[in-house]
Amino acid sequence: YLKKKIDVPGLIKYKVLKTCGIGESRVNDLISDLMEKGSNPTIGLLAGLGQVRIRIAAKAASEEEADLLIQKTEEDIRLKVGEFIFGTEEDTLEAIVCQLLRDKGLSLALAETSSGGHLCQMLSLVPHSSGCFKEGYVLHSGEAQNHFLGEQEGIWDGDHGEKAIKLATMARVHGKADIGLGILGYIKAEDDLSSRSLPSTYIALADHAKSLLREYRFGWNLEGIQLRSCIMALDLIRRYLLEKA
């Protein structure tokens, strides 16, 4: 029906590339020359929370011809978008991270605060993830965080980035894992999320030799902030593991 409706001989075939850590407008800037009107294949963008999908649609007389058109366009896109592409079609970021961990024989433990255990859930739903994801800690209150960090009772008076790194380090130690991850945020369900001055979220990774730290200021509702925190945390692990290749 579709072929008759738009008067296209043969068939239309699609492929989706998935990106994270980059916004829709930036992806558009990078591949705008490949998205010229009337080109074949055509390229479309679909933005989600923390991720952008790039859809390639090729019109051809045969499936083999369509595959060749898609392959050439995909190669061009990958040259421009590069490391932001984490997978295709039904790939999920959490499954990609677990596969990288298994391939390298490494294990992960994590500590979450404002993300409320969302990342633990995402990883635990990946088949066979128990072989690489060892433990997760959900530290909702300041008291729980201090206890986990081995601090005395009271308010943490140090740098927030340092606290995130210590969360990652202690997650690795407590979990007896190769890599520790910490997500530290201060947004709660009772907060006014319409404020323009929402506090930052800090994401840290620590292994036995070094640590990495990222700071983000997310907007949206609480569930959206939690999801974006988890996506950026997974992307930090993914990039770390790719650099170890």
* pLDDT tens-digit readout, 36-79: 877 899 999 999 888 999 999 999 999 999 999 999 999 999 99
Give percent of the chain with pLDDT exceeding 70: 89
* pTM reported for the whole predicted model: 0.88
How high is the pLDDT of residue 219? Answer: 72
Tokens matching residue 237:
């692990």
pLDDT, mean of residues 212-218: 92
Q: Quote the pLDDT of residue 193.
A: 62
Flag whether pLDDT at 155 surpasses 60.
no
Residue 150 has what pLDDT? 83
Cα diameter, the chain: 72
- Can you spell out the DSSP letters for 94-158? HHHHHHHHHHHT--EEEEESTTTTHHHHHHHTSTTGGGTEEEEEE--SHHHHHHHHTPPSS---S
| Alpha helix ranges (H) inside 134-221 | 142-149, 160-175
Quote the pLDDT of residue 153: 58
For tokens 């298994």, the residue is: 102
Give the range among 37-41, 111-115, 137-141 with minimum mean pLDDT: 37-41
Least confident interval from 6-15, 125-134, 141-150, 162-171: 6-15
The percentage of the chain sitting over the pLDDT mark of 90, rounded to a whole number, equals 73
pLDDT-derived band at 152, boundaries 50, 70, 90: low
Does the pLDDT value for residue 6 go beyond 50?
no
